Chains A and B, each alone.
Chain A
Amino acid sequence: MLGQCATVHDRKRPGIRTVYNAIHIRSEPVNARATTHAWYKTGSRIFLQAKSYLSKWVIMSDAIPLSFRVPAPEIRPGDAPDFSGVDIPRAGSVRRPPVDSDPEELRDLAFTIIRVMSRDGDAVGDWTLDLDEEDLRLGLTHMMRLRAFDARMLMAQRQGKTSFYMQHLGEEAISCAFQRALQPGDMNFPTYRQAGLLIAQDYPMFLMMCQIYSNEKDPNHGRQLPIMYSSKEHGFFSISGNLATQYPQAVGWAMASAISRDSKIAAGWVGDGSTAESDFHAAMVFASTYKAPVVLNIVNNQWAISTFQGIAKGDAGTFAARGHGFGIPALRVDGNDYLAVLAVARWAAERARRNLGPTLVEYVTYRAGGHSTSDDPSAYRPREEGDAWPLGDPVLRFKNFLIKQGLWSEARQAQLQAEIEDEVITAQKEAEAIGTLSSGNTPSARDMFEDVYAEMPPHLVRQRQEAGF
């Protein structure tokens, strides 16, 4: 008798006709049937005469059919790319508040985009940093190195030298610049698209490649999927591969630093899609409650594999605005603007370091490549969409900025590009001389039984013997 509809005339309110949904709350099927029968028979004229009658039925709501909404992007393959909905403020137009501002006074920063480099190639506005020439050149070098590294490793995967690869194309500025805001001892809890955190510390590309090839020099002993690097020494927490699980861990690490009265801070990383994970919200609760010294980063590259961001976010304003309910200051920044990323990262890191608590930062960017080597983006978005992305290419923009400032030239750019490619090729040759996944020079199968526990328990000793290693 669920949801039975009837048109009812209430005798106390003559002339008012209402369509009701009703649900029977007593198990009196005979009566219920009789009642329904009566309703059918009398058509639109039912008089609710007795309270006992009402007690058998609970009036639920007007019987308007509900509708189910599934958000979908307006643009799909075959359509012309359209980013007219992305509101991009002029570079330099967003204010830079003091780091100890009341979070309530920072709410506007979650609905704008902090940008430093203008279209004319100048650094403008409050967020402009005083960087020396060496810092600027390093920024460009790191981004170019990461891009060249990606290109070679993507090719190596296509050549069958390893199983899998994930590139950063279009997102190089974020991790390369962010790392420059940290200090030795700080800890990143990265996802799979922040290798710039290592590159910007001159972590050996050779070791990264050994990890990608799962060869005998792989620091992870061939146990992890390619690009799941780990280096405690470089403040780079072991990448999991599960999404958002490391967000609360970053908060916990930061809480531990505060408990220990240390001076180190942590940084968590998550993508736009995985802000939907419960762990994102768990991290925000703990960061908010304990004012953990952590920078919580959201890399919004518009796409979660094939899923557009409306699925993770619904109609909510921005991902950054998720911080507001937790009282966490939230900033939105142009992720393709090296100088803006560095400026915001320093602001957020300073807040953490000064015990002012967590900051949520959304980097607005675009994943110009596939999600991974197992992905074909042309199946779900226009091929031309990356070129139409209004925030441009981070490497090109930064190069043009340096040229405009008189610090760089096309000739030096070409020379640097050639040097970087040489470095990458040299590292690749060294790594491949050790071995690749396909060449078979991978760690011994005996090794998989190690490090499950600090000390191998008897059942694993037996299994290793059984396996014949």
Chain B
Amino acid sequence: MKALRITVSLLLPVVLFWSGAPGGTPVYAQYTSSAHGDSANGVNRSAMTGYARGNCAHCHEQHASVDGLEPDPVADANPSPYELFTLNFDSAVTTNTYQVQDDICFRCHDGSNTVQDPAFQNKDYSETFGCGTPAATPVVDILGAVNQLSYHNLYDIWTFVDGDDTTYPWFNSSTNPCSGCHNPHLARRNNANPRDVTFSAISLPTDHTNLFTASMNDTFGANYEPPYCTNTTDREPASSADAATGRSSTVDYVTFCTDCHTSTNTINSTPLGRNLLTIDWSAGGDKHGLRVTEGTNNARLGPYSTATPPTQGVLSCLDCHEPHGSPNITLLRRRVNGGDLTGSIATALPASFPPVTGDTNTQNKELGYLCMRCHQEDATTVNGPAPSWRDVHHNNTGRPYAASGPCSQCHPNNSPTPLPIGCDMCHFHGATDAWLGGNALNIPTF
């Protein structure tokens, strides 16, 4: 019987064909143009032999099994929410170091232990969009990224988004925290198309069912000056030819990030043991945001040193921060504005942060490695190794503090070589110099 059937089966291709659907109008384009649904580069779980790349089954098992069997990874044979092949997210894991089994995304986004065929890489923003070279300890996948010193804590995202059913009604306790920023059915291969915002990989948490493709140019126009990339001859992202190209090619990360990081939202950080700073990027908020910058000479470096800088210049969040994780604190990039940071920013901020009057000056100048990528440090080092910042605080035109006086009013010691004030005492989101108490100017200092 079987031999006969095998012979006749040769006729099958002749008689099998697709007939038009009399029912609804299917929508394929969104998923099949996504990174996961792309038939050339999409999902392809090694265990799912015979399934086309991009097929739903690489992530979803409609019956928590396939043909009655449990395909790899078999260690987790229980059915999982959303019919996923393994647990979506283990909310018992509250901090890194993450393991592949903690989040289904890591099953593939772990270049060294992936269930995806072939393995692939997701390098950090500094490299993919910021023209950087691999770090000394290269980060080549998302699992590696979030296992660095600072990272977007998945448990905190999960807690925050799930805790607001009004703003994020689509998110529930079984939802993957990565979905807070990414819609896996829509996210596109931005890393392969870094200068095309239509290849964005993100969706607004408040608009999860749409891909977010607004550019910095769309929202801020020329008020956004894309940073240098390779050197001073090109711009982010990814060696854009000029500023106009750069701002049109950069996703509007300000609108995106401030969808959660608003001036009012309380977001707890488990690793930091406190709430995150709120972000006010409006004209009434930070100077790195839309607040009108004062003065004419703030010793800014290119491309921000033009004779007539925009009065409401604004930075993109990712001009300074990595989205997933960083070897520096607070997800600060290892490369900014066309150059690598010359030192590590690894010292943790004080447990009680932000500072208040009476707090001890940290004298921590590490943050200066970031600042000096855009701001001119002292031409002549005053006290200790670079960076030092006496000129911008005391000497330059428009200086905020007196050129001379009793240094010990603010510094730990008096002249002629006062000890530095830690950058983190005054320069952070929402900062003023209020910690100086009676000596404070109470001016925005970020």
Q: A and B from one assembly? A: no
B residues neighboring A (CB under 8 Å)? none
